[in-house]
Structures are given as C-alpha cells and as structure tokens.
A and B are shown apart, each in its own frame.
Chain A
Amino acid sequence: MGLLAAARFTAAMSAWDTSAAFGMMGAARDMAYAVSGEALLLGTLLVLSLPAGTTDLRGLWASAAEADVWSSPAHWAALPAMALVVLLETGRQPIDNPDTHLELTMIHEGPLLEYAGRDLAMLQWAAGARHWVVMLLAAGVVLPHPAGPLPGAIVTLAWLPVLAVAAAVTESWQAKMRLGRAPRLLASGALVTLLGVAAWAFGAGL
C-alpha cells in the first residue's frame, strides 16, 4: 500500500467532503462535523505515527504489530480516537443513522435524496467501500496483530467481523446524538489524541 495508501486515505476523506457540497441540510451538518472530524483524524494519525516515526501506512501497520505498542499510553489514546473516526466515517449511530427514512434527521443520506438509478447505486457503493476501508484501516493500525505479512494479514482481516459486530452493538444501545453535541464529542476525541501526544513526549523524555 505504502504512502499511496496514506494519500488515498486522505483522498477518500476529502472526496467525502466534496460530495457533501450537493445536498444542503445534510451537507451542512456533514461539513460541520468534518471540522472537528478532520482535527480528530489528523490527531489520530499523529499519535499513531509517533511510535512508527512515519505516516506511511506500511510503517504504521508494522509498528502496531506485536504487543510492544500496548505498553505505551499513546497507543491507548489512539484507540478511542480511532473508534470515533470509524463511527464518523462510516456514518453510524450515535453520530448518524444510515437507515433513517426521515429527511429531517438525515446527514449522509440527505445529499443522496435527489439521485436515482445507476447514480444512486454508485454513491451507495462508494459509501460501502468507505465503510470497509475505514474498518480495515482501524484493524490494521490500532488493533494488535502478529508481525509478518501473512499471519498479520489474516489476523487483521479476522478483526473485521469483530469490528462490524462492535459497531452493530453500539448502534443497538446508543440513540442518535443531538446534532449540536456530535462535534463536541469529536472535539473531545481530538483532545484525547493531544493527551496521547503529551504522554508519548513525556514518556520519551524519561
């Protein structure tokens, strides 16, 4: 994957931003979330890149292998932050409800209202792809897996159903959050990553 994937990751992220320009109410909310969301995303990337010394996804993946990283508090800070990234990017409860049929509550669905047929299928497919890419990313760079390409890949893939179930469970017991509160949740996630940076910096100084 290499650096290309890092760029593509940001590309997917930003492509999502532009797609929002078409709808209005949903798009406005989406963009409002993106403000603290981007801070959160970059903060998470920073915390994860600290032990790795690079933002190359290969490097991140390699440095998240084995159990060593779990002794570092920085990695612990990355865990909730990444969880929030997954929730935001996949548009899940409590941030968004992907199954809603009420226009007033839509976020990501809102801009898709005016599409039909093949175009709508395309957009839905893009949303699905984003879903899996983000989950795979979370599994690869945050969750523990053995070193070495093949066993590592197998364990990383094995984490996917676990993540999916975790998302489903979260969705079942969380109600959708009030619109104004979600950015604050994301911002507190960003602050957690700042804590992670501080923890890592002080740890390195000792």
Chain B
Amino acid sequence: MAEVVLAAVALIAAGVLLPLRRRLLTAGLALQALGMLLIGAAGAWIAIDGAGVGEAFSSRLSPVFGIDRLSGVMLGLIAGVAVPAAVAAVGYLRHMPRSGAVAALSGLFALALVGVVTARDPSALLACWELMTLLPAVAALVADASPPVRRAMFEYLAITHIGGAGVWVAVLVLAGDGAIGGPPLGPGGATAGVVAAAALVGFGTKAGLVPLHAWLPRAHPVAPSTLSAVMSGAMVAVALYGLIRVMFEWMVAPAWAGPVLLAVGALTAVVGILYAAMQSEMKRLLAHSTIENMGVAAAALGAALWLRHQGADGPAALAFGGALLHLVTHAAAKGGLFLAAGAVQGATGTLQLDRLGGLGARMPWTGAVLGVAGASLAALPPMAGFVSEWAVLQGVFGAARVDDPAGAVVAGGAVLLLGAAAGLAALAVAKLLGLALLGPPRGDASAAATEAPASMVAAHAIVLTGLAGLVMGAGWILPGLAGLAPGGIGGGGPDPLDVPATGGIGTAGLLAALAVATLALTRLRGRAAARAPIWLCGQPAIAREPYTGAGFTKSFRIAVDGVLRSEREVEVERAGGIVQRVRSSGQVPDLVDRLIYRPAERVALRAASGARRLQSGSLRAYLAWLGALLLVSLALLRAGWLA
C-alpha cells in the first residue's frame, strides 16, 4: 500500500512539472488526476481495512509520514474533490493566462493537503500546514493579480496567519509535552487550557468559524473555480481534521471546550448561511455556505467532546461520526458546486445570479450538478447531506439529554440554531437554483449559453457519480466513521447509528421506484404541458418584472432586519418635475466586519501610529529607551517579580 501511495505522489509531482510546458498542460493535469485517484483509493482502502501504513505519530521533530484510518478518510475526501477539479481544469484553465503555472500550483496545493493529513510529526505537520495556507494565495495571484484579488488575498493571509499562530502554539506545546504519539495531555492545569484555546482559534480560523471567518467569503470566490472547489471542499475540512487530532487524540479536552465548540459551531452555521442567502453572486453564496457547513460539523464535534467528557461514549461516537460524514458529504457537494459555477462563468461570463436564468435547459450537465449537489447542501432527503445533517442533529440531541442543565440548555439552543440554519440553507439553495437554472434567461449571455467543454462535463459526471455513491452508501459509511471516535462506539444504547433508507439495497430500490413512478406519471399525462402566458392578474408579463434574488429573500430579510441592518438607496432623477429614472441599490453589510474587524483595525492602526513615535531615528533616544528598559528590568528582578 505504501508503494501505491508513493507512486501516486510521484505521478502528481510529474503532473506538477509537466504543465510548465504549455503543450503538456492536459497531460500534466491528467497525471495529477490519476495520482489523486490512486491516493484516494489507497486512503479509502486503509480506512476500511484498518491496517495503517508508514510511521506512527511521534513528538520528535524529524519529518515522518504515515496513514491511519482517520487519515485514510481524509485522503478519500481530498481526492473526491481534487480529482474532478483536475479533470475540469483541462477545459477551464485552457483559455486563462498563465494556465501552466496555475495548474502546477494546484497540484502542489493538493499535495500539501495530502501532506497535512499524512504528517506524523510536528515539523512535517506545520510545514505542510503553512504550504496549504500559502499555495492557494500564490495560485490565485498568479491567475489574476487585479487589485480586488490582491486585497482579498492580503486579508486571507493576514487573518489566517494571525489566527494560525494558534496552530503552532497548540502543536508545539503538545509536542513539548510528548503528547503527540504519547499519552494524551491531561485536562487539568493551565497548559491544557492554553492548548485547547490555541487549537480552537488556530484551526477554527482556517475552518472559517465565526468570528474568524471574514477571510473565507473574500478569498474563496476570487480564486479560479477549480481551486475554489479544493479550498472550499477540502481545505476547510482538513482544518477540522487538525482540530479532531488535537482535541480527541493528543489531549483530553477541558470541560469547557465541548460546549464552547458546540455554541460557536451552531452560531457559525446560522451566521454563515444567513449571509449566504443574502448574496447575489454565485461563488460568494457558495463560500458563505461553506462557513455554515463547517459550523454544523464543528457543532457536532463540540457535542462529541461534551458527551465524551460526560462519559457517554456511544452518543459521542454518533456525533463524531456525524461530523466526519458531514465533512465528506459537504466536500463532495461543494466541490461539484464550485466546478459548476466555473462552468457557468465560462458559458455566460458572469456569476451575478440576477443575470442568469434558464440554464437548466441550456446546460443540462451543469444544471444536474447544481441541482443534485444543491439538494444535498440543503439537506433534502434522500441526499447524503440529509443523512449527515440528521446524524449531527442526533448527536446534538444526545448532548441535550446528558444530565447537566447548563450543557442541556446550550445543546437545546444549538438545536434551534441548527434548525434555523437548515431552513435558511433551503432558502439559499432555492434562490441559487431558481435564479440560475429555472425561469426565462435574465440576460443575453445566459440566453446564448451552451454546455461547458468536454472536460468539465466529464468532471460533472464524476461529481454526480460520487454524490450518487454517497446517497447509496451514507448509511453504511456512518457506523464506520463513528467507529473512528477515540472512545469507540460503546455498548449499544438507544442511539440509532443507522438512519433508515439511506444505504444499500433499500435506498436503491426506493430511488428506482421513485424514478419509475416519475416516468410513469410523465408518460401517463400523455401530453406536454400547454404553453400559456403566466397569470399576473391579466396584465402581460414583461421581461423586467421577474423576481430577483433580493426580492426572493425579502420576506425573510424584513423579519430579521433588526439584526441584519441592510442598507438601501434609492436615487430618483427628475427633469422638469417628471421622474426620468429611478435607480435603487441595496446591500447587506457583514455585521461581524462592522462590529469586530473595523474597530480592531482602527485600534491596530492607532497603536501602530503610537509605536511609530518611538522610531525617532535618533540614536540617543534609542539608547535612552534601552537604558530605561534595563533599569525597569533590574528593579523588577530585585522586587522578585521576574524569576
């Protein structure tokens, strides 16, 4: 097995080098896809078979790599996104400037992700982690270095590096304690508290947990779509993988960690999807929805931590398995959606939802991916997204049943928030699908759209196969994933690990029956629906009148405007007392930006200008400062405050 993985890595490395010659772009991307496919298959095999390869974890600082079952699951997840992304890139990148460099960097990025989940010591883990952060930024800037992209990437790097310091602190403290690969760090004492807080901040930033999510909706949409797919599907999941390793394996988390993670996760879910529903650009909407799904998974992990702390290993395993399954189903769906967004952009030249419309009939493959993956994202049965969301909810239900009032109230609140998030997800997806796929085209570009190039259609087919496989298999996969929980599944209990009609022959039969029934109904109707003008109380329908995305979410926006504070401007041009033209615009600013980041920015700038005053450039002033510092230190030492 180790040889297979090494061969696959070699294939990807070759796939990274080849595209640098422009003629070999296709060959290189094909090698990348093949290599990722092999790695994913090896990972899935190890996840099922259970026998790991390579080294075990160690706290020594010499780079070693290995794969265990959890890593195997993550490898499968990464491959599930990276393979279709590499296939789609053949057609997507062809007409872009510097496509070779972007393709090479995408391959390196996928390798860095593989590196993070297979690293078995602190040095390899942190090195791959930093590469994983930097490479997508480089690739996005190589592809497009316009000021908005530069700005977005600066914010991405700034926030993830400030927050990412937490990863270094957590991992290095754990390594110093010998907890990586050794006995886990105990829950008592200040060290455990520091490590847990640092890990929450560090990995949470990368996973886009509120309020550290601000970079995500900025950075993900500006990257090329094939790269956004990997960022949004796999990279954030890898961040939560890091959190799982730290919180579940390398330490016994302190009591507060579970409820805090549960609350933060549930809040993230609502905030993420709330702003997703308000977006008018396809990729921004998808990026916000990524935040939501990471929140859902994080909430399940929090519930698992809390249940484990309470000694309820069975329900904890269910929540844990639900979180992993949610990461997998989300990766499959979101990767597909970003690739479909790339296809839409290629066909119409725009991602503004209000300019699309009618694409379902014009781009059947892209439409199918959007529809199926969107339904999974909105957690509609029988999609895999429903199974994972249901498992997560069962896990949080379990946390509410634990005999502890405060925890039960947190879990109950989380259930309500997750419910609202599910309702909002349906709203956001309905908006996305309705505006992009259905109805009349709302612009010339979408009226003239044709199906994407062959390689993207192939990628769509891969995505659809994967999603169908998940629909059939989610019920089977879940117990296996729950078995990966450190405490094991535990002894029975009433908690259902099987979600009915979600796996195996039953589902296949159900789907077949549904398909037959649908076909029979369409045949029985005997005639196509008559084309008739739509009913608008007798008025003719005019092209400028259909609902826009903003209109669709308006009823909801009114209900929560006290919190959202949307902005609206109406300009009226008059000439000679007669209204010539009315222009209206509206936007929903991000509340977290306004309440946290802008004040923080102001404080930081003020502090910086204060510090600048120290830089007088005069040697005497510097010497005076040094002398004062020395005196103060000596005084403190004498007073016994400095040991």
Residues of chain A having any CB pair with chain B under 8 Å: 2-4, 6-7, 10-11, 14-15, 17-18, 20-22, 24-25, 27-29, 31-32, 34-43, 46, 49-50, 53-56, 59, 103, 113-114, 118-119, 179-180, 183-184, 190-191, 193-194, 197-198, 200-202, 204-205
Task: Check if B403 sits within 8 Å of A204, measured CB to CB.
Answer: yes
B residues in contact with A27, CB < 8 Å: 430, 552
Partner of B416, one of A2, A39, A59, A114: A39
Knowing that A46-B397, A201-B408 are A-B contacts, what are 16 other residue pairs whose CB atoms are under 8 Å apart, sorted by A's residue number? A6-B500, A7-B499, A7-B501, A22-B438, A31-B555, A38-B423, A46-B400, A50-B400, A56-B494, A180-B559, A194-B409, A194-B412, A197-B400, A197-B409, A197-B411, A204-B403
Interface-side segment among B126-134, B160-168, B285-293, B386-394? B386-394
Task: Check if A31 sits within 8 Å of B416, measured CB to CB.
Answer: no
> Which 6 pairs across A and B sit closest by C-beta, in order of nearness?
A197-B412, A201-B408, A42-B419, A38-B423, A32-B556, A39-B419
A residues in contact with B546, CB < 8 Å: 24
Q: Is the C-beta of B623 less than 8 angstroms from some C-beta in chain A?
A: no
Task: Check if A28 sits within 8 Å of B381, measured CB to CB.
Answer: no
A residues in contact with B560, CB < 8 Å: 183
Which residues of B from 409 to 457 have beta carbons under 8 Å from A? 409, 411-413, 415-420, 422-424, 426-427, 430, 433-434, 438
Contact A193/B412 with A20-B430, A54-B496 known, Cβ cut-off 8 Å: yes
Shortest distance in angstroms between A191's beta carbon and chain B's nearest beta carbon? 8
Task: Check if A59 sits within 8 Å of B494, measured CB to CB.
Answer: yes
Task: Check if A10 sits within 8 Å of B423, measured CB to CB.
Answer: no
- A179's closest neighbor in chain B, by CB? B555
Task: Check if A7 sits within 8 Å of B390, measured CB to CB.
Answer: yes
Interchain Cβ contacts under 8 Å between A and B, 5 examples:
A4-B501, A7-B381, A10-B381, A10-B386, A28-B554
A residues in contact with B424, CB < 8 Å: 35
Shortest distance in angstroms between A57's beta carbon and chain B's nearest beta carbon? 11
A residues in contact with B3, CB < 8 Å: none
Per-position contact with A for B540-560: 1 when CB-CB < 8 Å, else 0?
000000110001111110111
> How many A-B contacts are there with CB distance less than 8 Å?
172
- B521's closest neighbor in chain A, by CB? A122
Task: Check if B427 sits within 8 Å of A31, measured CB to CB.
Answer: yes
Task: Check if A31 sits within 8 Å of B430, measured CB to CB.
Answer: yes
Shortest distance in angstroms between A126's beta carbon and chain B's nearest beta carbon? 13
Contact A55/B394 with A17-B430, A21-B434, A35-B424 known, Cβ cut-off 8 Å: yes
Shortest distance in angstroms between B101's beta carbon and chain A's nearest beta carbon? 41
Task: Check if B500 sits within 8 Å of A3, measured CB to CB.
Answer: yes
Shortest distance in angstroms between B495's beta carbon and chain A's nearest beta carbon? 8
B residues in contact with A25, CB < 8 Å: 547
Task: Check if B416 sits within 8 Å of A42, measured CB to CB.
Answer: yes
Contact A28/B423 with A197-B400, A205-B403 known, Cβ cut-off 8 Å: no
Interface-side segment among B35-43, B104-112, B372-380? B372-380
Query: Looking at chain A's contact residues, is the secondary structure mostly helix, strand, loop, or mixed?
Result: helix
Given the complex of chains A and B, what is the CA–CA distance between A32 and B552 in angstroms?
9
Task: Check if A28 sits within 8 Å of B547, measured CB to CB.
Answer: yes
A residues in contact with B559, CB < 8 Å: 32, 36, 180, 183-184
Q: Is the C-beta of B641 less than 8 angstroms from some C-beta in chain A?
A: no
Q: Is the C-beta of B190 less than 8 angstroms from some C-beta in chain A?
A: no
Q: Is the C-beta of B525 less than 8 angstroms from some C-beta in chain A?
A: yes
| Chain B CB within 10 Å, residue with most, of A36, A59, A191 | A36
B residues in contact with A55, CB < 8 Å: 394, 397, 496
B residues in contact with A41, CB < 8 Å: 419
B residues in contact with A59, CB < 8 Å: 494
Task: Check if B419 sits within 8 Å of A38, measured CB to CB.
Answer: yes
Per-position contact with A for B359-402: 1 when CB-CB < 8 Å, else 0?
00000000000000001001111100010001001100100110
Task: Check if A17 sits within 8 Å of B499, measured CB to CB.
Answer: no
Given the complex of chains A and B, what is the CA–CA distance between A21 and B559 in angstroms?
20
- A202's closest neighbor in chain B, by CB? B405
Task: Check if A190 sits within 8 Å of B419, measured CB to CB.
Answer: yes
Shortest distance in angstroms between A113's beta carbon and chain B's nearest beta carbon? 6
Shortest distance in angstroms between B560's beta carbon and chain A's nearest beta carbon? 8
Partner of A39, one of B420, B427, B498: B420
- A47's closest neighbor in chain B, by CB? B412
Given the complex of chains A and B, what is the CA–CA distance between A191 and B419 in angstroms?
12
Task: Check if B500 sits within 8 Å of A7, measured CB to CB.
Answer: yes
- A203's closest neighbor in chain B, by CB? B405
Given the complex of chains A and B, what is the CA–CA distance between A21 and B294 in angstroms?
25
Contact A14/B430 with A7-B500, A193-B412 known, Cβ cut-off 8 Å: no
Shortest distance in angstroms between A14's beta carbon and chain B's nearest beta carbon? 5
B residues in contact with A3, CB < 8 Å: 496, 498-500
A residues in contact with B390, CB < 8 Å: 7, 10
A residues in contact with B556, CB < 8 Å: 28, 31-32, 35, 183
B residues in contact with A119, CB < 8 Å: 525, 529
